[in-house]
Structure formats: C-alpha cells, structure tokens
C-alpha cells in the first residue's frame, strides 16, 4: 500500500494553544495551508479561547461559549491534530520528538513553543492557604465564579489591569472587594498620578475599596487551612475569605529549560523567533526578545506573523517591538494610555465636572505619549500620531482629533 501523501509532509508540533499559538496557526495556514502536518498540544481542557475576555466572563457580562475562538471542528476541518489536557513534558532535541504527560511520543521537523506565562505568587507566611487564587485561565475563572457564590470579603492583590478587572468582576458578583496595590496610584505603569486618582475615585464610587502603597505581609487562615485575612506590612488586617493574586507574570520556560534551550527570563529568540535550536521557534509570553518579555496580545500577534512567515519559508520578515496601547475592560470606565508617559508632560486638559482628562507628552516636536480618561473617543487618532511631527498643529493638539481637517 502507498503511504498517504499527508504522511510525507514535514511535521509541525505546536506546544500551547493559547492566543499566540492559535494566531500562529491562523497566519501559517493563510500563507501555506498544506505545507505541514500539524499537531497541537494544550495543557488546558478547553479549545482555543480569547483569554482577554475572561474578565467580562468573571464579571458576568459574557458567557464561556462566546469567548471560544477555535473549537474542535476548526482543527478537524484543517486536519490539525489537537491534543487537549495533555501537556508536553519533555523535548528530545537530538532525535526531535516530544513526549506528553500521557506518554504520547510525537516526532517533529519543526517545533513551536507557545507556552505563555505563569502568574507570580507571593511566598509570604500563610501563602499556601486555600482560597488564595490566581486569574489566568478558564479554570481559574470558573473557580473564582464558584468561590464568589460563597465569599463575603475578597482581597485582590495588584492594581494593574488584571487586578482591577478581577476586583470589578468579583464586585459585580456581589462580593465586598478590597483592591490593594503597592504603587502610589493604580496602573502606575500606564497612567500618571492624576489619571490614576481619577480611576481610583471611579472604583470607589462603584463601591470597591482601594488601598494604595499597601504591601502584603502574610495571610491568616482558619483551622481548616482556609484563608481568613490578609495582613499588610503597616499592621492592617483585612478580612478575606477569597484572595486573588494579580502581581504579574513570568514567562513559562519550564519545558524549554529542561530541554537545554537558552533561557534568561524567557526563552531567548532572534528576530525570526527562532530559539538557539534552529528546529525550534517560540512565540508569545514565553519569549524573551532583545531583553524584553511580553504581557499584551498585540506584540504576540506580530510575533506569530513573523514566525509563520519563516515556517512557511517566506522568511523575509523580522520581529521589531512596537509599543502597544492599553485599555481597561471595566464597563463604564474609559481610559487609554499609549507611548512613553515618563517625565513631565507638555499639554494637559481636565474637565472635573464631566470627568474628562487628557494629557499629552511631547518629545521635541513629536508626540511621544498620551493618556485619555473619561472620553477615549480620540484614542485611535492619537495612537496614529505617536512618533509623528505635530508642530503644525501643536496649538490645537489637545482637541485635534475633533477637528475635521486634522482627523482626516
């Protein structure tokens, strides 16, 4: 019997079916729908879903089916073998095969690591109590929703995007939430102090509690090992039967390190997303590219495009990092931040009654950073102007997005 043509194709194995892994598949299939036989391993049970939308799922604004982006039929229709709930546990680089937890041994010609990141966890006294959760995947989200049904007081640790969205989500589910943040203001990497204060006021008005410059010292638990309170370094005791840690992420390099791939904070790649092993690529939050690691989807999508072009052997692309804009997914709170907002800003407007705020940073004659709060209708206009010479309309720049001749 003749071997089927399918088995003559080179085999591509993708480890991780998250946002970078699924985007890579999309990009590759667009360029070269039939170059490879493809197997995808996922540690999660769920098929492809939009992780960004876990926040509205936690808040009850969306349901699980609405965030599925790639269901089992999508893979089947493209002849992709999808292995769910079975993480790859080792890579045998010399003989080029991977081994999964269930013992599957799958050879590859090309391997892509898209293993994402792990939430950071505190290691202070009491941190192993039950009821101390993270917010990273669908399983965490389900656990938080379940816990919200029997929790009265939650403490969310971390006033970045994830922490604020987790706090808002639990609050919408009727839990009394205190958000604690070690910075002097919320979102202190994306917002300046004034915009951060506007955000805190908005959250307070909604009924959340916010504590700034607050550092966790330890957790109290009851005789069953369930968390009962968070103790801060200033001695404050915050009662809590649920705690969410949202204190950042770390690239998941476990598999790559064990296989002897060169890693620092993340898996080191060159501008083509190739690791130190020419048969192995990496994309997404597991990557470290030119000393940088990642935490937003926009750069990962660009990486997926570049990596797919090289896998398709149309390798003219190079990955270059570009700053991406950030928005908070808390309905009723409009904020936008882009570019470099360090140092003194140049242009500023605030209408306290309407709650509208704009601040722009200039680098010589170029727009270098922008923060909008309350009204973000000009966000995409300002984003397009970043890095451009704006001297022609400096006088009107604060409202330039509303002037027809400049918005055009």
Ligand X SMILES: Cc1cc2nc3c(=O)[nH]c(=O)nc-3n(C[C@H](O)[C@H](O)[C@H](O)COP(=O)(O)OP(=O)(O)OC[C@H]3O[C@@H](n4cnc5c(N)ncnc54)[C@H](O)[C@@H]3O)c2cc1C
The number of residues that bind ligand X (CB under 6 A) is 33
CA dihedral (390, 392, 398, 400) in degrees, to 10, reads -100
Q: Which stretch binds ligand X (CB under 6 A): 1-9, 60-68, 295-303, 372-380?
A: 295-303
Q: Are 293 and 299 in contact (CB under 8 A)?
A: no
Q: Of 32 and 44, which has the nearer Cβ to ligand X?
A: 44
Those residues whose C-beta lies under 8 Å from the C-beta of residue 302, and which sit 6 or more positions away, are 319, 322
* Stretch 309-348: interaction string toward ligand X, x if CB under 6 A: --------------------x-------------------
Closest approach, Cβ 396 to ligand X, in A, equals 31
Q: Are 131 and 220 in contact (CB under 8 A)?
A: no
* Stretch 114-153: interaction string toward ligand X, x if CB under 6 A: xxx------------------xx-----------------
Closest approach, Cβ 337 to ligand X, in A, equals 12
Q: Is 284 an interacting residue with respect to ligand X (CB under 6 A)?
A: yes
Write the DSSP assignment of 368-396 as a string of letters. EEEEEES--TTHHHHHHHTTSB-GGGGGG
Q: Of 44 and 220, which has the nearer Cβ to ligand X?
A: 44
Write the DSSP assignment of 16-69 as a string of letters. --SHHHHHHHHHHHHH-TTS-EEEEE-SSSS-EE-GGGHHHHHTTSS-GGGGEE
Closest approach, Cβ 312 to ligand X, in A, equals 20
220: its two tokens: 């109290």
Subset of 243-282 contacting ligand X (CB under 6 A): 252, 255
Q: Which stretch binds ligand X (CB under 6 A): 211-219, 228-236, 294-302, 314-322?
A: 294-302
Q: Is 20 an interacting residue with respect to ligand X (CB under 6 A)?
A: yes
390: its two tokens: 């704006």
Q: Is 304 an interacting residue with respect to ligand X (CB under 6 A)?
A: no
Nearest to 174 by CA among 59, 50, 33: 59
408: its two tokens: 């055009």
Cα(303)–Cα(292) distance, integer angstroms:
13
Among 9, 31, 35, 52, binds ligand X (CB under 6 A): 52
The residues binding ligand X (CB under 6 A) are 15-21, 41-44, 51-52, 54-55, 87-88, 114-116, 135-136, 162, 252, 255, 284-285, 295-298, 300, 329
């Amino acid at each position: 019997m003749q071997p089927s043509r399918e088995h003559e194709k080179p085999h591509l194995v993708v480890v991780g079916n998250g946002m970078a892994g699924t985007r890579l598949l999309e990009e590759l299939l667009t360029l070269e729908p039939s170059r490879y036989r493809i197997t995808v391993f996922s540690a999660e049970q769920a098929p492809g879903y939009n992780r960004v939308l876990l926040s509205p799922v936690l808040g009850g604004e969306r349901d699980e089916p609405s965030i599925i982006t790639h269901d089992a039929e999508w893979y089947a229709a493209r002849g992709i073998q999808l292995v769910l709930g079975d993480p790859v546990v080792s890579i045998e680089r010399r003989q080029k095969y991977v081994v999964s937890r269930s013992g599957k041994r799958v050879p590859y010609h090309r391997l892509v690591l898209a293993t994402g990141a792990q939430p950071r966890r505190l290691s202070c006294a009491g941190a192993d109590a039950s009821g101390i959760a993270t917010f990273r995947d669908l399983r965490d989200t389900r656990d938080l929703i379940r816990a919200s049904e029997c929790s009265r007081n939650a403490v969310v640790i971390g006033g970045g995007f994830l922490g604020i969205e987790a706090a808002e989500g639990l609050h919408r589910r009727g839990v009394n939430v205190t958000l604690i943040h070690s910075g002097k203001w919320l979102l202190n990497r994306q917002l300046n102090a004034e915009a951060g204060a506007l955000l805190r006021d908005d959250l307070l008005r909604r009924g959340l509690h916010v504590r700034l410059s607050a550092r966790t010292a330890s957790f109290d638990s009851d005789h069953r090992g369930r968390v009962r309170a968070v103790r801060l370094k200033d001695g404050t005791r915050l009662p809590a039967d649920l705690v969410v840690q949202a204190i950042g992420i770390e690239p998941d390099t476990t598999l790559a390190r064990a296989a002897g791939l060169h890693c620092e904070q993340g898996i080191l790649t060159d501008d083509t997303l190739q690791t130190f092993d020419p048969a192995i690529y990496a994309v997404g939050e597991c990557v470290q590219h030119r000393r940088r690691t990642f935490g937003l989807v926009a750069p990962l999508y660009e990486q997926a495009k570049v990596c797919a072009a090289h896998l398709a052997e149309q390798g003219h692309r190079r990955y270059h990092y570009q700053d991406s804009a950030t928005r908070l997914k808390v309905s009723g709170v409009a904020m936008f931040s882009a570019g470099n907002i360090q140092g003194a800003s140049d242009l500023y407007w605030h209408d306290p009654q309407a709650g509208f705020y704009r601040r722009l940073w200039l680098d010589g004659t170029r727009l270098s950073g922008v923060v909008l709060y309350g009204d973000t209708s000009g966000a995409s206009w300002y984003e397009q102007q970043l890095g451009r010479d704006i001297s022609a309309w400096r006088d009107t720049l604060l409202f330039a997005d509303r002037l027809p001749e400049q918005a055009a």
